[in-house]
Amino acid sequence: MKIEILGAGCPKCKQLASNVQDAIKELNIQAEIGKVTDIDKITEYGVMMTPALAVDGTIVSSGKVLNKDEIRKILAK
């Protein structure tokens, strides 16, 4: 599983990244976590508001910081 945090590195992006790491630990799954900070790449995904979360190349959230439980539900699917 590949998880990407899209954003410029603002505090909200950092919080989302932290929540993703916590959710992965709780689910005990293997995942590659990457950060996309290049604005051109972010817009290629069609994201207009950050932070955004992509799982295996698909945007699953944009414009808000998901909490750990919300992320767990997305990753458990």
13 is catalytic: yes
Q: Are 32 and 1 in contact (CB under 8 A)?
A: yes
33 is catalytic: no
| DSSP symbol at 65 | -
Q: Which token pair is 19?
A: 């929540």
Q: Which of 3, 5, 6, 13 is catalytic?
A: 13
Instruction: Please give the full DSSP string across 16-37, using - where no structure is assigned.
Output: HHHHHHHHHHHHT---EEEEE-
Count of other CB atoms within 10 angstroms of residue 50:
22
Q: Which of 1, 10, 39, 48 is catalytic?
A: 10
Which residues are known catalytic residues? Answer: 10, 13
